[in-house]
Amino acid sequence: MAKYKHIEVPKNGKAITVKKKKLKIPNNPIIPVIEGDGIGRDIMKATRRVVDAAVKKAYKGRKRIVWMDIFAGERANELYGEWMPQETFDAIKQYKVALKGPLTTPIGGGFRSLNVTLRQVLNLYACVRPVSWFKGVGSPVVHPEKLNVVIYRENTEDVYAGIEWKKGSKDAKKVIAWLNKSMKTNIRTDSGIGVKPISVTGTKRLVRKAIQFAIDKKRSSVTFVHKGNIMKYTEGAFRDWGYQVAIAEFRNKIVTEDELWSKYKGKMPKGKILIKDRIADSMFQQVLTRPDEYDVLATPNLNGDYLSDACAAQTGGLGMAPGANIGDYIGLFEATHGTAPKYADKDVINPGSLILSAAMMLEYLGWGKAAELIEKGIQKTITKKTVTYDLHRQMKGAKKIGTSQYATNIINNM
């Protein structure tokens, strides 16, 4: 077992291992947990309590999570003098499944996003964000119940690859001079430059996961969301490679939208998954105007980032938006939102997103019964109209409660 400087490995838990290309989950798995900055401190406490209670209730003591604190962001800087210590990566690699609170990223300068670094270094190439509505939650749309999508967002490339040069820097000047001279472009010399790589490898492994998920969970369609009319060789290629994977690897399980009309007269054959694509701008209005026509969405990195917040807004906002970063045999579960610093340490923020992310984690462990109890607890708490400020302001006649009380109510309502 690896020796860590500041991480204390609990003696009463066991590591998750990989056997025959499958995760082997002991009854007492050690789960590394990054508390996170800002509201991370509020929501992680609440989440751990809810998860422990759900697992206890579901398995009557036969199973339990053994949490292991690991460090990133402000807490890591205090302990190690660096924001993202190597042993944090090592621990997630060793223990395979981890839970994470939000981490601060400076805008327009400073260090690179720790969140993006974690996803890239650990090769967590699929960011999975389910968005659906809990009955009773206020919404800016008339029929929030019609939206029930799972976004599969590519997580390692696109403009998030971090390849960019500041306006006026030596490197920016060099790149601009080379492009203008050798490639006959006409880039203004006072430009900042960013590079947008989208690869066959990155696209195909993401799309493969999205389609496999749709098959496993009997979902109806997978839609590629791209801006391929403008960015032909990156986003357009994402679409083309997506169809290639669908046809080459899932031929008997899928029907493309073209085939739906050319072979099946617009009537979807039973048990097949419809593969279609939409241009990103159109997709943003489609999720508002025809949400029930969409199911699994597979997107390049930036589109998925925008789209998941936009979809979350329809179903209660960022307080209800869970997520997971999944690679081959590693899963890092985290909420869609950030550190919301103005609410930090005030015991007011909605822990729902992180709690639901933890429920996704339980599902990933194969502990679906505990995950179901959490969803049930949240639904009942909302039905009883005892909610945090964000849901309170969208609901008539609700009672506003704090983060820790909300967690207690979820536990009592499981």
Q: Catalytic site residues?
A: 160, 227, 281, 305
Determine, following the binding rule CB under 6 A, whether residue 390 of this chain makes contact with ligand NAP: yes
Determine, following the binding rule CB under 6 A, whether residue 206 of this chain makes contact with ligand NAP: no
Q: Max CA-CA distance within the chain? A: 70
Minimum distance from CB of 99 to ligand NAP (Å)? 12
Determine, following the binding rule CB under 6 A, whether residue 42 of this chain makes contact with ligand NAP: no
Q: Are 335 and 353 in contact (CB under 8 A)?
A: yes
- For the sheet containing 324-326, what is the strand order? 66-70, 30-34, 97-100, 331-334, 324-326, 126-132, 148-154, 296-299, 221-226, 273-279, 254-256
Minimum distance from CB of 409 to ligand NAP (Å)? 16
Residue (102 or 228) nearer to ligand NAP, CB: 102
- Please calculate the CA angle 414-324-68 and round it to the nearest 5 degrees: 75
Q: Are 67 and 6 in contact (CB under 8 A)?
A: no
- Please calculate the CA angle 144-396-293 and round it to the nearest 5 degrees: 5
Among 27-35, 137-145, 295-303, 335-343, which window interacts with ligand NAP (CB under 6 A)?
335-343
Residue (114 or 273) nearer to ligand NAP, CB: 114
> Regarding beta strands 66-70 and 30-34, do their DSSP bridges make them parallel or antiparallel, or are they unpaired?
parallel
Residue (103 or 172) nearer to ligand NAP, CB: 103
Minimum distance from CB of 35 to ligand NAP (Å)? 12
- Please calculate the CA angle 248-254-256 and round it to the nearest 5 degrees: 90
Among 258-266, 289-297, 334-342, 360-368, which window interacts with ligand NAP (CB under 6 A)?
334-342
Determine, following the binding rule CB under 6 A, whether residue 405 of this chain makes contact with ligand NAP: no
Binding mask 105-124 toward ligand NAP (x if CB under 6 A, else -) reads: x---------x---------
Determine, following the binding rule CB under 6 A, whether residue 339 of this chain makes contact with ligand NAP: yes
Give Cα 380 distance to the centre of its chain. Answer: 25
> Kind and range of the H or E element at 17?
strand 17-19
The single-letter code of the amino acid at 109 is: G
Determine, following the binding rule CB under 6 A, whether residue 29 of this chain makes contact with ligand NAP: no
Please identify which residue in 103, 275, 298, 407 interacts with ligand NAP, judged by CB under 6 A: 103
Determine, following the binding rule CB under 6 A, whether residue 102 of this chain makes contact with ligand NAP: yes
Binding mask 163-192 toward ligand NAP (x if CB under 6 A, else -) reads: ------------------------------
Across 86-169, where does the E strand assignment appear? Answer: 97-100, 126-132, 148-154, 164-165
Please identify which residue in 353, 357, 381, 408 interacts with ligand NAP, judged by CB under 6 A: 353
Interaction with ligand NAP in 305-324: which residues (CB under 6 A)? 317-319
Across 215-368, where does the E strand assignment appear? Answer: 221-226, 254-256, 273-279, 296-299, 324-326, 331-334
The single-letter code of the amino acid at 318 is: L
Please identify which residue in 136, 138, 338, 402 interacts with ligand NAP, judged by CB under 6 A: 338
Determine, following the binding rule CB under 6 A, whether residue 327 of this chain makes contact with ligand NAP: no
Residue (137 or 149) nearer to ligand NAP, CB: 137
- Please calculate the CA angle 58-326-333 and round it to the nearest 5 degrees: 50
Determine, following the binding rule CB under 6 A, whether residue 381 of this chain makes contact with ligand NAP: no
Q: Are 139 and 73 in contact (CB under 8 A)?
A: no
Minimum distance from CB of 312 to ligand NAP (Å)? 9
> Kind and range of the H or E element at 260?
helix 257-262
Among 98-106, 150-158, 223-231, 239-247, which window interacts with ligand NAP (CB under 6 A)?
98-106
Sign of CA dihedral 402, 404, 405, 409: positive
**Cα–Cα distance measured from residue 210 to residue 220, given in angstroms and rounded to the nearest whole number:** 12
Minimum distance from CB of 105 to ligand NAP (Å)? 3
Please identify which residue in 44, 274, 340, 395 interacts with ligand NAP, judged by CB under 6 A: 340
Where along the sequence are the contacts to ligand NAP (CB under 6 A)?
Answer: 102-105, 115, 317-319, 334, 337-340, 349-350, 353, 390
